[in-house]
Every structure is written in C-alpha cells, then in structure tokens.
A = this chain, B = another copy of it.
C-alpha cells in the first residue's frame, strides 16, 4: 500500500470512477494535496473514502456524510460548539437506530418469506412423490 497514490489508483482500489473522486473533492468530502496540477492521495483519503461509501450504502446524502465525517474526532471548539455537536451526534444516532430497526423488520419478513418458499418446495416434492 503506497504512501502516495494517484487518482486512478484510488479509484480502482475502491471501484469508483475518477469523476466520482473529483466530484467528492468538489463537494468538500475529500481534500487531496496537489503536486502541481495533479492530485496526490494518501492514507487519510482512503479512510475518508471508505467512510463516504459506507454512508452511501445507507442512503445518506453527500452533505449528510460530510457532516457525519466531520463528527469523528472533532472535539475542538468552545463549550457551546461542543454541546451543539453532541446534539447533532445524538440526532444521527437516532436516525441510525431507526434504520437498524427497519433492517431488523425487513430481515424478519424475508425470513418468513424464505420459510414460505421452503414449505412450498416441500409440498411440490410431496406431489411429485405421489405421482
């Protein structure tokens, strides 16, 4: 794992396009260094990109993901800021717990559906045995 990688290398590593990476930079989600014109990505960007894609899988908007990432390890600022920060984190937590509950319910339904399918298969087998 090289220290400094090109945009294409990072893109390939995470199975996204270079356009996507440039777009994320544009949106303030990535901030690669520049060497001349070229972007230089480092480990920090890998970590960030991983977080971005994780957020995407959960259906978060890019600006929500940006906010989310900003929450990680950002305990600077004065008291008021910290408090509003804790509040924001709490909101996000609620959202995530809701999503988790949604997932549990869907998984339950899918379990039921699977069982239904298996029963159906059983019936089909019985019929073919009788035949």
Contact = CB atoms under 8 A, between A and B. Distances in A.
User: Which bracket fits the contact residues of A?
Assistant: 35 or more
Nearest to A106: B96
A110 B92 contact: yes
Contacts of A57: 59, 98-99, 102
A121 B54 contact: no
A87 to B, nearest CB: 10
Nearest to A90: B114
A113 B79 contact: no
A16 interface: no
A79 B110 contact: no
Closest 4 CB pairs of A and B: A59-B59, A75-B116, A75-B120, A75-B117
